[in-house]
Amino acid sequence: MVQSIFGATELLDIDYWRSRFPDQRIDDSLGVAEGTPPAVPQLMKGDLARDGVCRMERAAGEDLRMRLLLDLRRAGHIFGHPIYAVALEAFWFAAFRLGESARFAMGNDVSVTTLPAIVTVPPKHAGVGPHRDSQLRAFKDDGAPTRLSVWLALTAAEVDRACLHYLPMWADPNVPDDLSSVQVPDLRLIRAVPMAAGDALMFNQAVLHWGGYNATRHTRVGVVWEFADSVNCTDDEAAVALESDISFAKRLGFMARAIMRLSQRDTALAEPRHLDVAREIYLNLRDSG
């Protein structure tokens, strides 16, 4: 498929999206009640408090998983980058499901921040090196997390297919006071988390983690959502509260801000055809209220 030539005018028109994705119902507004019912929380707060990580099996059904994969692939073909799929329904239906588990873990209303990540690890490549998703305050006064990342595996992520590795929080002397450090005190403390397609991994953003090496012939694909306690969101996160209706304009604004923020670490999104259009969409929506 040849990539489209597009500008902000086209992307601000819902009918343009409908013409590019004719098999989808692209509604002007989405609400939690309209999406796939939220997943019953399958995590144990004890695991999250002790290790900082909790695995949720079958967090996304097969239909939703395949829809997300298809959306990412088609958005990449049409627009030149899969991040444009965040304007489509499947991204938000998954956010509603996973956000319900994040709400259960944090004990408060949650928002999804404008730093989603579409993570692909091709064969003979490794995932992102050791890092923490945030160095901001990791815990509330009652010990509950202030922000969580949820990684949904759209393809299997076995040990030899770049599964996630992490250092449990109880073994990390740098949590919570020195989150700039990525030192591992003892390699024997490292844990690997192989995942089946459709599983999700929820982890405190203070957790030190990284992707393994993909020794298979198949690309590993996943999506990461960042959830923050609504009262602890920073001003520049431009987060979207999941308890509200998600209008098409709000989804486009989220997409535009995500492109602008992610362009700082994704050189492909720093290209003018993406960054200039995202800025124009953002300014148009801001000025129109």
Q: What are the tens digits of pLDDT across the range 64-86?
A: 999 999 999 999 999 999 999 99
What is the model's pLDDT at position 1?
A: 46
Half-sphere exposure of residue 185, counting CA atoms within 13 Å on the CB side? 10
Q: Where is average pLDDT lowest: 27-31, 98-102, 220-224?
A: 27-31
What is the model's pLDDT at position 110?
A: 85
Query: Running DSSP on this structure, what letter comes out for residue 115?
Result: -
Q: What is the CATH number of domain 33-243?
A: 2.60.120.620
The phi-psi region of residue 26 (left if phi > 0; otherwise alpha if psi is between -120 and 50; otherwise beta) is: beta
What angle (nearest 5°) sits at the alpha carbon of residue 94, between those of residues 97 and 87? Answer: 140
Residue 31 burial (C-beta neighbours within 10 Å; 0-12, 13-18, 19+)? middle
Cis amide linkage into residue 176, ω under 30° from 0: yes
Q: Where are any strands of DSSP class E within the chain?
A: 29-30, 53-56, 110-112, 117-121, 147-153, 164-167, 191-193, 200-204, 208-211, 220-229, 240-241, 246-247
Greater pLDDT, 101 or 235: 101
CA–CA dist 76, 67 (Å, integer): 14
Q: What are the tens digits of pLDDT across the range 227-238?
A: 988 776 766 666
The mean pLDDT value for 18-32 works out to: 84
Above 60 in pLDDT, residue 43?
no
- Domain ranges (residues) in the chain: 33-243
Residues facing residue 131 across a β-bridge: 209
What is the model's pLDDT at position 226?
A: 92
What is the model's pLDDT at position 135?
A: 87
Q: Are 152 and 202 in contact (CB under 8 A)?
A: no
